[in-house]
Chain A
């Protein structure tokens, strides 16, 4: 089999199961690739080579023994560093957790292990998933494999870059306001934020608990579906986990059919503020969907213009509360413990030393929004706007089966370009945030390169809660049509590193 790192997860799993290649060979090929290109990309914070090879050996033993295997057995994966993995460094991109090794596995990791998916290492991210560029990682930014001077998106830029750099065929992300979808968009890869509660948050270091959701990332719609199926489903350890069957996303990805599907174009998520090449590729993708037999309908969601404001009150409020646990007492960094400072002083010194600027900014913002006298005007009002945005979605889904928009207003911007302007950075998430506020599922998939800069553009597909299969039905059909047109997946056009 030629270059193992260029293959899809589905092809690799089949080759391993039929003994065309061993899982150890597949894992080693990806570890070699990481060793050769990650100096430029910096997608990984920590490579778990030893445990990955041990996992791969176990898969090969199962193949030899004829033990039945899952559909992704032996396929390597990059794990976002926000998910606890027993005994391996888990930092969430923060200095406050430097050196911490969790004493337990997150449910996502437990399910990956149960599916015999080989974990190559922990991928880079904005500190505590706060950001859209990975520049807020305390360990330095990740570089976009399409152009190393540009951002790979965020917060899950490491996971997306690992896919685009062919360091891993699968990755796990988490999405609070677009952290799976926006990186997918700017790296020419696929990412899905499942319906809230679709994948367990147990062992995910919490940012905003009512918005956070882990999900699958890959280079194709089918690979994404296979990974989605491996990690989704009810978990008694997460009280917000949905206790209902997971929609058959793999069957939907294989069916890949939009004939008769009503697809709603959100008028508020296009036009002004969107880069010309993004708008152009988006319009072309809508034409393609129409040619495939979908009915394209314009839909208005009038409260979406307030989504960014509501999000940047709700998220910091929840984050300021969640991040209170980092107090330097039970795990993680402790600073200033000189025997004289009080516990409160040690906490304040520890948090000042351990948190980066964006994290401190959002903690302060959340503390303000929740404080007496401001609560009703800020947090309370934001929660009401959240209801209105959800009602906009509900009304839209009475008319259409899925909604679409560009995933991000621009292609990948230059590293450093927006780092000192929090508001400009927040605007990247304008199209992805409404989905998290409503708790529904959404996908980003590549729809071409912007003519003006040759960088990937993504389309977002949004489906009602618990109907994640529709993302794959539509995304699969669009991907198949575009692959026919181009002769290959868009990611094949990424420059060699």
Chain B
């Protein structure tokens, strides 16, 4: 497997919404490379015909009855908001002006 480069780390940081400092990019490029080389050993295992396991208990489509039960109120939900306005979460600009 190939080694991970600084531009790749910068790309990952963008995908993960992490505003990393330049020195962090260098540091993580080095560390992620070491970790990835270590975990890459799993490729030694011949597993072509082995089914992947996403979850320890094979359960699918677990539903409860669709009954209304008490939940948290609007005020409780907004109480922890970094910013709220008009009974809503206030968030930064999402769309460009035009």
The interface of chain A, by Cβ under 8 A from chain B, is 100-104, 196-197, 210, 236, 239-240, 242, 303, 306, 308-310, 312-313, 320, 324, 327-334, 336-337, 339, 341-349, 351-352, 355, 360-361, 363-365, 367-368, 371, 377-378, 380-388, 390, 422-423, 437-440, 465
Q: List 12 A-B contacts (CB under 8 A).
A: A240-B59, A242-B57, A306-B41, A312-B39, A330-B80, A342-B93, A343-B92, A345-B92, A371-B12, A381-B45, A381-B47, A439-B55
Distance in angstroms between the alpha carbons of A100 and B39 in the assembled complex: 35
Q: Which residue of chain A has the shortest Cβ distance to B56 in the bound complex?
A: A439
Known: A104-B72, A240-B59, A351-B19. A388 touches B47 (CB 8 A): yes
Distance in angstroms between the alpha carbons of A140 and B21 in the assembled complex: 23
Contact of B35 among A102, A242, A312 (CB under 8 A): A312
Distance in angstroms between the alpha carbons of A104 and B89 in the assembled complex: 19
Does B42 count as interface, using CB distance less than 8 angstroms? yes
Contact A368 B82 (CB under 8 A): no
Contact B16 A363 (CB under 8 A): yes
Distance in angstroms between the alpha carbons of A439 and B58 in the assembled complex: 11
Expressed in whole angstroms, the minimum distance between the Cβ of B65 and any Cβ of chain A is 9
Contact of A309 among B15, B42, B82 (CB under 8 A): B42
Q: Which residues of B sit under 8 angstroms from A310, Cβ to Cβ?
A: 39, 42
Q: Which residue of chain A has the shortest Cβ distance to B9 in the bound complex?
A: A364
Q: How many A-B residue pairs have CB under 8 A?
A: 173
Per CB-CB distance, the 6 closest pairs between chain A and chain B, nearest first, are A439-B56, A383-B52, A334-B82, A384-B47, A331-B80, A348-B19
Contact B80 A332 (CB under 8 A): yes
Does B62 count as interface, using CB distance less than 8 angstroms? yes
Known: A303-B45, A306-B45. A344 touches B35 (CB 8 A): no
Expressed in whole angstroms, the minimum distance between the Cβ of A276 and any Cβ of chain B is 25
Contact of A360 among B14, B15, B24 (CB under 8 A): B24
Interface string of B36-65 (1 = CB under 8 A from A): 101111111101001111111101001010
Contact B92 A368 (CB under 8 A): no
Which among B32, B40, B55 has the highest number of chain A CB atoms within 10 Å?
Answer: B55
Distance in angstroms between the alpha carbons of A386 and B83 in the assembled complex: 43
Interface string of B68-98 (1 = CB under 8 A from A): 0000100011011111000001011110000
Expressed in whole angstroms, the minimum distance between the Cβ of B88 and any Cβ of chain A is 11
Q: Which residues of B sit under 8 angstroms from A380, Cβ to Cβ?
A: 52
Contact A352 B20 (CB under 8 A): yes
Q: Which residues of B sit under 8 angstroms from A348, Cβ to Cβ?
A: 14, 17-19
Contact B12 A361 (CB under 8 A): no
Q: Which residues of A sit under 8 angstroms from B81, Cβ to Cβ?
A: 330-331
Known: A236-B64, A364-B18, A384-B47. A331 touches B42 (CB 8 A): no
Expressed in whole angstroms, the minimum distance between the Cβ of A419 and any Cβ of chain B is 13
Expressed in whole angstroms, the minimum distance between the Cβ of A353 and any Cβ of chain B is 8
Distance in angstroms between the alpha carbons of A236 and B44 in the assembled complex: 41
Distance in angstroms between the alpha carbons of A339 and B92 in the assembled complex: 7
Contact B41 A197 (CB under 8 A): no
Which among A351, A355, A438, A440 has the highest number of chain B CB atoms within 10 Å?
Answer: A351
Q: Which residue of chain B has the shortest Cβ distance to A331 in the bound complex?
A: B80
Distance in angstroms between the alpha carbons of A371 and B24 in the assembled complex: 21
Known: A100-B80, A331-B80, A334-B82. A371 touches B72 (CB 8 A): no
Which among B13, B17, B34 has the highest number of chain A CB atoms within 10 Å?
Answer: B17
Expressed in whole angstroms, the minimum distance between the Cβ of B8 and any Cβ of chain A is 8
Expressed in whole angstroms, the minimum distance between the Cβ of A305 and any Cβ of chain B is 8
Contact A347 B89 (CB under 8 A): no
Contact B12 A197 (CB under 8 A): no
Q: Which residues of A sit under 8 angstroms from B47, Cβ to Cβ?
A: 381, 384-385, 387-388
Contact B56 A196 (CB under 8 A): yes
Contact A361 B28 (CB under 8 A): yes
Contact A360 B28 (CB under 8 A): yes
Q: Which residues of A sit under 8 angstroms from B53, Cβ to Cβ?
A: 383-384, 386-387, 390
Contact B80 A382 (CB under 8 A): no
Contact B80 A101 (CB under 8 A): yes
Expressed in whole angstroms, the minimum distance between the Cβ of B6 and any Cβ of chain A is 12
Q: Which residues of A sit under 8 angstroms from B76, Cβ to Cβ?
A: 103
Q: Which residues of A sit under 8 angstroms from B35, Cβ to Cβ?
A: 312, 361, 365, 422-423
Expressed in whole angstroms, the minimum distance between the Cβ of B47 and any Cβ of chain A is 4
Q: Which residues of A sit under 8 angstroms from B72, Cβ to Cβ?
A: 103-104
Apart from A329-B91, A363-B18, what are 20 other A-B pairs with CB-CB below 8 Å?
A103-B72, A104-B72, A210-B55, A240-B62, A303-B45, A306-B45, A309-B38, A337-B82, A343-B92, A346-B92, A347-B17, A348-B18, A349-B19, A352-B21, A355-B18, A360-B18, A367-B12, A368-B4, A386-B53, A388-B47
Q: Which residue of chain B has the shortest Cβ distance to A348 in the bound complex?
A: B19
Contact A103 B80 (CB under 8 A): yes
Contact B18 A377 (CB under 8 A): no
Contact B92 A240 (CB under 8 A): no
Distance in angstroms between the alpha carbons of A444 and B91 in the assembled complex: 46
Contact A240 B57 (CB under 8 A): yes
Contact of B17 among A104, A332, A351, A384 (CB under 8 A): A351
